[in-house]
Amino acid sequence: MTASSSSLLLLMSFAAGTFAAGSSNNPQHLMLASPSGGVPNNPLPLIIWPRVALDEMQEEEPDLAGWFEQTFARNGWPPAWRYDIFPYTHYHPNTHELLGVAEGWAEVLFGGDTGRMVTLRAGDAVLIPAGVGHKQVYASDDFMVVGAYPEGFEPQTSRDEPGKLRAALEQVKQVPLPKRDPFTGKEGALTEIWLPIADHF
């Protein structure tokens, strides 16, 4: 068995349950490959960088939103908005989405009704592959994220509609891999985690 095959099997054997991330030095990944209702999901895993902004800034009262916006823009992911996450299941069939948590915390359901709940906190970032469903379930009153997309892409937002699943699956397959990691501007967790998996489908 090759090293890349072994890594792929390790990713695909991720145990079920509520997901909580660790430190930013070890980005976490979560497989949500199978469709759920009308949500296509994606063989590429969700990637979470825990505390990435807090660990990089090391300030007592950091401007997390500003830091995420500057970092994302510098590395080829232009920031598009500041807001919370929609409280209903939705996905973007035409682009990957990057979120940086600027304030508060939230429990977010990823992958549709049969997916996984993830706790996101201020300083965390999460890369959502095209087609992966997401929904804010619980959140602090001050919860806010910075949203960004790869250069040249604007999101189309779709809901959980089973009748549109086949077309959504085909659309998701056409979305190219991003060229740059959002935190390094070159190779990084994105390329290390996604490229070996992309080679298998």
As beta bridge partners, residue 20 has 119
Contact between residue 30 and residue 48 where contact means Cβ atoms under 8 Å apart: yes
Confidence of residue 115 (pLDDT cuts 50, 70, 90): very high
Domain membership of residue 16 (yes or no) is no
Residue 195 is predicted with a pLDDT of 87
Domain membership of residue 20 (yes or no) is no
Domain membership of residue 65 (yes or no) is yes
Q: Which domain holds residue 34?
A: 26-198
Confidence of residue 62 (pLDDT cuts 50, 70, 90): confident
Domain membership of residue 128 (yes or no) is yes
CA atoms within 13 A on the CB side of 3: 2
**Residue 79, token pair as written in the block:** 């920031």
Q: Over the stretch 36-47, which tens digit does the pLDDT of each residue have?
A: 999 999 999 999
Across the range 63-67, mean pLDDT stands at: 95
Residue 146 is predicted with a pLDDT of 98
Alpha-helix runs per DSSP H in the chain: 3-12, 52-57, 64-74, 165-173, 189-198
Q: To the nearest whole number, what is the mean pLDDT of the chain?
A: 87
Domain membership of residue 101 (yes or no) is yes
pLDDT at 12 > cutoff 60: no
CATH, residue 77:
2.60.120.10
Domain membership of residue 2 (yes or no) is no
Domain membership of residue 127 (yes or no) is yes
Number of domains observed in the structure of the chain: 1
pLDDT at 7 > cutoff 70: no
Residue 96 is predicted with a pLDDT of 98
Domain membership of residue 88 (yes or no) is yes
Q: Over the stretch 95-106, which tens digit does the pLDDT of each residue have?
A: 999 999 999 999
Across the range 171-177, mean pLDDT stands at: 95
